[in-house]
Structure 1
Amino acid sequence: MITSRSLCIIFFCILLVLLLPNIVLVRGECTCDPEDEDRDKTQALKYKLAAIASILVAGAIGVYLPVLGKTIPALSPERKIFFLIKAFAAGVILSTGFVHVLPDAFENLTSPCLDEHPWGDFPFTGFAAMVAAIGTLMIDAFATSYATSYYRKSHFGEAEDNVSDEEKVGEHAGHVHVHTHATHGHAHGSIEYAGESELLRHRVISLVLELGILVHSVIIGISLGTSESPKTIKPLVAALTFHQFFEGMGLGGCITQAKFKSRGVAILAFFFSLTTPAGIAIGIGISSFYDENDPTALIVEGIFNAAAAGILIYMSLVDLLAADFMNPKMQDNKRLQFGAHVSLLLGAGCMSLLAKWA
């Protein structure tokens, strides 16, 4: 069985490979005109440092808030309020994919700084988002299938052996109740199997969702860190602080349902909280030679933004919203259903409003 530790190791190896190209970008010549903006390195650095602190704290609070359900009964996944929180957070993540990340990807890959061929001949942004969404579906389906196959072999195989032995004893002794006991064992095993399969699926959802969030968080951090315009950075500090808090709530809800051990929760929360501040720090370090209009930077950022958008849109619609809105608890409770719809619209609306500044 794939353990949570193995899943975390695989996840962060993939993350490292994906993010390396964002860190090492070579400056190149570009024929398009640079943006006219007020530059003040000293003042900009102050805002960047403030952004690192505020985003770090907001992210940590957001991701740990749902996790506190273990100690605060009101935030437990079994409570109705948890459905409302998850609907709000799913709206935030959906809006992040559609309103924040995908438009940035389109802007990157349709920039006049890129060659007309091939970048003007094919909609690479939509294609990359589609491929990422399909890839997420495949990972989701494969993990569920693997869990199903493994659990059947390891548990049902043993149960069938036990049934055969007990049936033989029953035939010799004439005790029908032995067979009935074995049947109960089968039922118990089916319940265990369903729970184990669902648990693994929640863990895969948490890791894939975090991957999509972290990829675009690093890019956002690098973009902010390389900017030298206080006028541009100032509104971003507040906007990205709220952005990170709301995204953290969505991720924290998934982590809670995945029931990772304390160490796994700490690792996932740590990387989420640290990624955007780390991106800002990297941006500060490379700001002296980084060119945001460099074709290599535009292509890498555009492709990764498009892929992140595809992951976030798929995860929010399929694994968060569809799973909860089709849950019998919500289907049987019209008030909860109405509240979840309102929470979803509020989450999507709040994050969409932040697109004015971020």
Structure 2
Amino acid sequence: MESSTAKAIAMLTLGLGSFITGMLPACFSESARQRHPLFISSLLCFGAGVLLSTSLTHMLPEAREKLPDYSELMLCVGFFIVYLVDEIVHFFYQPSSLHQERRSYGSSEETGLLSSQRDSRDGELRERCCGDADNPRMCHVSHTEPCNKSSSGVIGLLCALFVHSFLEGLAIGLQENASQVLILLGAVCSHKFVVGFCLGAELMASAPGRLCPHIVSVALFSGGSVAGIGAGAGLESVSALKDSVAVSIMQALAAGTLLYVTVSEVLPRERARWHERRRSAGVAQFSSVCLGFGVMYLLTMYLDHDA
């Protein structure tokens, strides 16, 4: 088999495979999500564990190979970039949101009553959880879901995964014989399909019922590896990037982005939704995060293409 044929097979396999796995979570019906909400939450926590492991045990070590002294710094820079973008979006969005909220709450006595009742319940919950004379228990988890008014977290997640997919595809496209291409293809597929499914699950949670944005996002993720393979196979000058420090910088920045999305978006949201609803939910979520982390770690350790 010629290397060009092997690269064409790799493009088709990675493109279609990651698109199918990314679209699988969208096949869950709305009724199924309502009947099994804890299962969906555990699935999202599994995805958070996969993303956490991808960031810290897969992408960061790759960045450290060519950038040993500044890889951790670049990871933090990526983390703070998404943090800053998130705060900028909220800064410009919040004034109109608050104005709209005040106007809607002040439109009728009924909505005002509902608002006061909700505030009363929230106040009682805060008193009960933060500790008082009757119940001194301390809570370390917020019972309010993180603000979900902006899509910066999902956009950051998609950008990070696209960059990582492109770089992995580039590594495949730069190979000179068919056997090396197929070996790398198997290694990349082993974790790319898992990450694609987790991306689809997160898109399903962030924008339920919106199929077109889901398709576009998954298509962009799937096209990252295809574009990388095509660039590596078609442009000889791209081979200079293989040992470039720019690749490591992009890997580290993408790792920081995934870290922010995981610890500041996905996990706080899912923990807040279930912390007061069912005591066993926290154990199920923790187990799902550990399982996702462990699965991705084992795939990285034993099937990584750099091993």
TM-superposition CA deviations, 1:101-139 (whole Å, max 9, x none)? 1111111224xxxxxxxxxxxx32222111110111122
Query: Aligned in 2, Cα 1:76/1:49: closer, same or farther, shift over 3 Å?
Result: farther
CA contact (8 A) 1:222 1:282 kept: yes
Partner of 1:309: 255
Q: Aligned partner of 1:216: which letter?
A: H
Cα deviation, residue 312, structure 1: 0.9
**Separation (CA, whole Å) in 1 of partners of 2:73 and 2:205:** 32
TM value normalised by structure 2: 0.79
- Alignment gaps of 5+ in structure 1: 1-41, 111-122, 164-179
1:242 equivalenced with 2:242 (yes/no): no
% same residue: 21
TM-superposition CA deviations, 1:272-300 (whole Å, max 9, x none)? 121111211111112x4443576xx5121
Cα deviation, residue 154, structure 1: 2.9
Q: Which of 144, 152, 161 matches 1:213?
A: 161
Q: 1:222 aligns to what SS in structure 2?
A: helix
Partner of 2:74: 128
CA contact (8 A) 1:90 1:321 kept: yes
CA contact (8 A) 1:44 1:229 kept: yes
Cα deviation, residue 212, structure 1: 0.9
Partner of 1:341: 286
Cα deviation, residue 307, structure 1: 0.3
Partner of 1:104: 62
Query: Aligned in 2, Cα 1:144/1:338: closer, same or farther, shift over 3 Å?
Result: same
CA-atom RMSD in angstroms = 3.0
Partner of 1:154: 100
**Separation (CA, whole Å) in 1 of partners of 2:178 and 2:102:** 63
Count the aligned residue pairs: 278
TM-superposition CA deviations, 1:159-203 (whole Å, max 9, x none)? 55x57xxxxxxxxxxxxxxxx44623756999xxxx9x94424x2
Equivalent residues in 2 for 1:322-337, closer than 5 Å: 322-324=268-270, 326-330=271-275, 332-337=277-282
Partner of 2:8: 49
Cα deviation, residue 252, structure 1: 1.5
CA contact (8 A) 2:190 2:303 kept: no
Equivalent residues in 2 for 1:256-271, closer than 5 Å: 256-259=204-207, 261-271=210-220
Q: Aligned partner of 1:318: which letter?
A: S
- Alignment gaps of 5+ in structure 2: 120-143
TM value normalised by structure 1: 0.68
Query: Aligned in 2, Cα 1:229/1:181: closer, same or farther, shift over 3 Å?
Result: same
Cα deviation, residue 77, structure 1: 9.6
Q: 1:138 aligns to what SS in structure 2?
A: helix
1:275 equivalenced with 2:224 (yes/no): yes
Q: Aligned partner of 1:242: which letter?
A: S
Q: Aligned partner of 2:65: which letter?
A: E
